[in-house]
Amino acid sequence: MTKLIFVGGFLGAGKTTLLFEITKILKEREIKVGLITNDQADDLADTALLSHTFVKVAEVSGSCFCCDFKGLRKAMDSLSKDLRPDIIIAEPVGSCTDLSATLINPIKEMMKSEVSVGPLTVLADPGRLKNILDGTGDLHPSAVYIIKKQLEESDLIAITKTDSFSAEEIKDLEGRVRKNFPECKIITISSKNGEGVREWLDYVLGSEDAGKHIVDIDYDKYAEGEAVLGWLNCSATLTGNGTNWDEFTLNFMKDFALRLEAKKSPVGHVKMMVENGDQYISANLTGGTETLSYRWSAGSGNSADMILNARVEISPEELEKLFMNSINALTNNNIKVKIRRLRCISPGYPNPTYRYSKK
C-alpha cells in the first residue's frame, strides 16, 4: 500500500527544499517516491526544481488540492500507473489551511484500500513564527489567521531553517510553540545541514496518526487572507551572449525585492529558477533583501529558461507592474527576454470538494 504524506506550511517555510532533500534519502534507501506540487496557476518553480531530483513529479495547478480533489486523485493515479511508488509526498499551496477536514480525513475514508496517510506536517519558518507568537510582523491579520490555523490543525509542527538561528533561539521558540500548541508533536529541522530531517522522515513513514485536529475555520477570513496576496507566475526565455546567469538571477531578485520594499509590500515568497541546460540556480525571497538566499549555479551561456513565482501583499496589477519594471531594468541590448506566459491573479473564495466536521 502506498504511503501518502502531506507537507504543508505557509509561503516560504521551506517545503520544497525539504522535499528536494528527502528524495535523496529515499533513493539511498531504494524506496520509490512520487511528488505532487500544487498552485493556483501554471508554471511552478517548485515543479522545475523538483524535476532535477529525477523523481516523478505530478502537478495540480489552477486550484488548491482541497478545491480540486478530483485533480489530486488524478495526479495520484498518474504516479501510481507510471511509477507504482511506495510513497507519495504532496505539497499543498502555501496559503491553504483546513487540510485535515478537506483532504486527510476524506482520503482516509474514501481511499483506505489504496493509501495509508501519514501525519500532517506543517513547516514553520522561525523568523515568521516568532513574529506570529509575538504579535508583530507586517503580514495582514487574515494572512496571520491562516498561519495560526495551519499550526493548530497540524499533527506535527516542524520548525525549519534551524541553521539560521542560534541553538538558544530555537530552544526558546520550540518551548513557546509547545505551550501554544500542546496537542501537536514538535520537531526542529534544517534541510540545509540535514539536522532532524531523517528523524522527521522516519516518524511520518512509521505513523498513521493523521488528521487528529479538525479545527473551526472562518472561511470569510480565510478567503481574505488569500485574496490580500497578489500571485504572479511567469515563464520566459532569456538570451544573451556569454551571460553569467547566476549574476543575472541575483541582480534581478535584489532589484525586485527593493521595489517591493519601496512599496512597503510584505512578501509571502518570491521563487526564481533559471535553467541553463542541466545547470540551474534556485533563488528565494521570504521578506526583505536580507532574506534572499540561493543554491546551485546555472553557470554562463547564451540562453536560459526562467520561471518566477511571487506571492506578495499587493494588488495583482501593481505586482505585475513592479515585475515588468525589474525585467526592463535587468534586460537590455545584451540580455533579452521573451515571456512565454505571464499570469497575475488574486485567489478566489475557497470552496472545498469535501469537508469533514469530525475525524
For residue range 273-293, list pLDDT tens digits in order.
999 999 999 999 999 999 999
Residue-wise pLDDT for 95-126, tens only, equals 999 999 999 999 999 999 999 999 999 999 99
Residue 359 has pLDDT above 70, yes or no: no
Contact call for residues 175 and 323 (beta carbons, < 8 A): no
- Beta strand 33-39 with 87-90 is parallel
Query: What angle, 0 to 180 degrees and rounded to 10, lies between the N-to-C axes of helices 15-28 and 197-206?
Result: 80
Q: Give the pLDDT band of residue 53 (cuts 50, 70, 90).
A: confident
Helix (H) or strand (E) holding 254: helix 245-262
- What is the distance between the terminal CA atoms of the chain, rounded to a whole angstrom? 22
Identify the residue whose cell numbers are 489567521.
Answer: 145
DSSP β-bridge partners for residue 4: 88, 117
Nearest to 103 by CA among 56, 115, 113: 115
Identify the residue whose cell numbers are 493515479.
Answer: 77
Could you give the CA distance from residue 224 to residue 195 in angstroms, rounded to a whole number? 36
Tell me if the pTM is above 0.75.
yes
Tally the residues of the chain. Answer: 359
Secondary structure string (H, E, C) spanning 95-111: CCCCHHHHHHHHHHHHC
Determine the CATH number of domain 2-225: 3.40.50.300
Determine the CATH number of domain 229-345: 3.30.70
- Domain parsing of the chain, residue ranges: 2-225, 229-345
Contact call for residues 123 and 15 (beta carbons, < 8 A): yes
